[in-house]
A = this chain, B = another copy of it.
Amino acid sequence: MPVYKAPLRDMKFLLNEVFDYPGHYEALASGGNATPDIVDAILTECGRFCEEVLSPLYQSGDDEGCKLEDGIVTTPRGYKEAYVQYAMGGWQGLSAPEEFGGQGLPASMGLLKQEMMGTANWSFSMYPGLSLGAMNTIFLHGSATQKHTYLTPLTEGRWGGTMCLTEPQCGTDLGQVKTRAEPQADGSYRLTGTKIFISSGDHDLTENIVHIVLARLPDAPKGTRGISLFIVPKFLPTEEGGVGERNAVTCGSLEKKMGIKASATCVMNFDGATGFLIGPENEGLNCMFTFMNTARIGTAIQGVGPAELSYQWALAYARERRSMRALSGKKEPDQIADALIYHADVRRMLLTQKAIAEGGRAMLYYAARLADHMVEGHTAGDQKKAEKYDDKLGFLTPILKGFLTELGCEAANLGMQVFGGHGYIREHGMEQIVRDTRIATLYEGTTGIQALDLLGRKVLLMTQGGAVRDFTLKIANFARKHLTDKRLRPYAVELLKLSAQWNLLTVRVMLAARKDRDVVSAAANDFLMYSGYVTMAYIWARQAAVAADRVRKGGEESEAFYRAKLATAEFYYERLLPRAQAHATSMLSPTENLMQLDAEDMAFIG
């Protein structure tokens, strides 16, 4: 089993050469400490931790899984030790405010850390990932006392956190939430109900777990407007900030899942558990979703990380496994056969992985700059700034989460395919990546929900197409600048066409939706995927533009790196981007082909 290597060269290319993070950090209030040297050192150190500590636990964690015995959840061997290293290294507080013990670095630095951890060992990375959700929520909506009580131990990683939304009867449709919260004389609440699919709901990594829980007050209005948010700690905090009485929240069972087996997915029972209201009554959904965009980008990483991991392993295998001769003649005449990498069809698979991993990473880093500005707005109490950047980010979020996780599954499957029959065997680890990645299109809003959010909410309802107009304007401006460059012209021309087409498609869908509301749901998936391919095309052109410039200047020590970027961009435009047109055609097709069949007539069996 090959070992994860942090792709630092590519990460630094994107940060320093494509998206000017040094300049970006200089302009950020929180960016003072994020000098190029510091960033470099953090990336190197984090990469080392992921390579040496997390990667070796990837397969063993899957084999072993989590266990629930006598009400206590244990993580696989080595996870606790790795987590202690993680917490001791101060990694949990990387982007957290200094007043609570964090390092106060920009949010994007946290994303880089999440990416490397998630690539080396996605299941492990979920424990600190969920804590971050709890930290963000308390930071933004908690009272001064709540912040004081919870944020320091969470930032230090001594405590963990969860987000408790889903119940057996509802996941997407949270208006159906039934968990009850009864007010008590002391100002606290008693929560009763069952939550399912709670990642990190219980485990042995931290001394306490802080649950953020959606529940209903008595007499709350029905539906989504009657839901409030509560903090329910596993152990009630003591006055001194220690761990006190055990609360009535327990793990009823662990879900048996397809993958991410080292991540504890819990059924959580609240049996009159003590909870504390966070944020205003009945506005729990708003509070919960304040950081939804960053949470969803966190999940979008799962489209990129596993693509990278699977690519690294498949590439290594393709270089050493020999089968048949290349069609264009023997490439390794002294060997019994040529290595897989000399077969064009194997390269198609590998380059698809590469284009997805590197293109997806670049999309993440592009968006992360916006996240930095949004967080800065929140931190400074500048609501307007926060909202402005949240809106910009909000347009990209469903594209990143929806599109990249779908492509991540494709990339993982291709990596397995490169291994042939061996890909299906557990010891090689390729099928684990497929199983682990598969959750990404389901949780944190399915692809269908992302698609509806993008087309129905962000594009049509909120901006009447304005979001697409703004973004394509950026793309077109970029393209026009490169029309005269011989090497970049094909991309520029294509991007101008796509910019126009994306707007046209938006208008046509908008007009059709006025007559027929089903159009939005019918077109949403194709619109999402189309948007994803075009966005990735823009991002690949951005990379190509830098690479072309470096190659033109010549003499760079890593010219091969830039040439590889150009080759991958070419591959993307010529072999993957054509799919956008299939989505465009399908998107405009009549809703009748989906809606005309009665539900009873969908099958004639039994």
Contact call A520/B327, Cβ cutoff below 8 A: yes
Contact call B172/A420, Cβ cutoff below 8 A: yes
Of B257, B315, B524, which is within 8 A of A424 by CB?
A: B257
* Number of chain A interface residues as a range: 35 or more
Per the bound structure, the CA–CA distance linking A324 and B448 in Å amounts to 13
Contact call A586/B594, Cβ cutoff below 8 A: no
Per the bound structure, the CA–CA distance linking A522 and B342 in Å amounts to 11
Per the bound structure, the CA–CA distance linking A425 and B258 in Å amounts to 6
Interface check A170, CB cutoff 8 A: yes
Q: How many copies of this chain?
A: 2
Interface residues of A in 450-479 (CB under 8 A from B): 451-452, 456
CB distance from A70 to the nearest CB of B (A): 23
Interface check A581, CB cutoff 8 A: yes
Q: Which residues of B contact A582 (CB under 8 A)?
A: 578-579, 581-582
Contact call A438/B447, Cβ cutoff below 8 A: no
Instruction: Knowing that A327-B517, A339-B599, A564-B601 touch, tell me 7 more A-B residue pairs with CB under 8 angstroms.
Output: A6-B605, A326-B518, A344-B518, A345-B451, A347-B595, A348-B594, A424-B442
Contact call A435/B258, Cβ cutoff below 8 A: yes
Contact call B327/A518, Cβ cutoff below 8 A: yes
Of B426, B451, B568, which is within 8 A of A258 by CB?
A: B426
Q: Which residues of B contact A342 (CB under 8 A)?
A: 599
Per the bound structure, the CA–CA distance linking A420 and B169 in Å amounts to 12
Contact call A173/B421, Cβ cutoff below 8 A: no
Of B258, B571, B595, which is within 8 A of A434 by CB?
A: B258
Contact call B426/A257, Cβ cutoff below 8 A: yes
Contact call B602/A586, Cβ cutoff below 8 A: no
Interface string of A243-271 (1 = CB under 8 A from B): 00000000000011111000000000000
CB distance from A237 to the nearest CB of B (A): 31
CB distance from A68 to the nearest CB of B (A): 15
Interface check A171, CB cutoff 8 A: yes
Selected A-B contacts with CB under 8 Å, 23 pairs:
A172-B324, A173-B323, A173-B337, A312-B605, A327-B456, A327-B520, A328-B517, A341-B599, A344-B595, A345-B452, A347-B597, A420-B442, A421-B443, A560-B600, A564-B597, A564-B604, A567-B593, A570-B593, A575-B589, A575-B593, A578-B581, A579-B582, A581-B582
Contact call B256/A426, Cβ cutoff below 8 A: yes
Interface check A187, CB cutoff 8 A: no
Residue of B nearest to A176 (CB): B336
Q: Which residues of B contact A521 (CB under 8 A)?
A: 326-327, 343-345
CB distance from A587 to the nearest CB of B (A): 9
Contact call B420/A446, Cβ cutoff below 8 A: yes
Indicate whether A560 sits within 8 Å of B601 (C-beta atoms), given known contacts A345-B448, A348-B525, A448-B345: yes
Interface residues of A in 172-231 (CB under 8 A from B): 172-173, 175-176, 197
Contact call A574/B602, Cβ cutoff below 8 A: no
Interface check A319, CB cutoff 8 A: yes
CB distance from A328 to the nearest CB of B (A): 4
Interface check A145, CB cutoff 8 A: no
Q: Which residues of B contact A312 (CB under 8 A)?
A: 603, 605
Interface check A152, CB cutoff 8 A: no
Contact call A344/B594, Cβ cutoff below 8 A: yes
Interface check A238, CB cutoff 8 A: no
Contact call A323/B570, Cβ cutoff below 8 A: no
- Sort A-B residue pairs by CB-CB distance and give the 6 closest, nearest first: A344-B521, A574-B589, A578-B585, A258-B431, A344-B522, A5-B606
Interface residues of A in 525-542 (CB under 8 A from B): 525
Q: Which residues of B contact A599 (CB under 8 A)?
A: 319, 339, 341-342
Of B337, B561, B596, which is within 8 A of A176 by CB?
A: B337
Q: Which residues of B contact A258 (CB under 8 A)?
A: 424-426, 431, 434-435
Per the bound structure, the CA–CA distance linking A440 and B354 in Å amounts to 24
Of B351, B448, B560, B581, which is within 8 A of A346 by CB?
A: B448
Q: Which residues of B contact A8 (CB under 8 A)?
A: 605
Per the bound structure, the CA–CA distance linking A586 and B524 in Å amounts to 25
Interface check A439, CB cutoff 8 A: yes
Q: Which residues of B contact A438 (CB under 8 A)?
A: 413, 416, 424, 431, 434
Q: Which residues of B contact A345 (CB under 8 A)?
A: 448, 451-452, 521-522, 524-525
Residue of B nearest to A560 (CB): B601
Interface residues of A in 391-440 (CB under 8 A from B): 409, 413, 416-417, 420-421, 423-427, 431, 434-435, 438-439
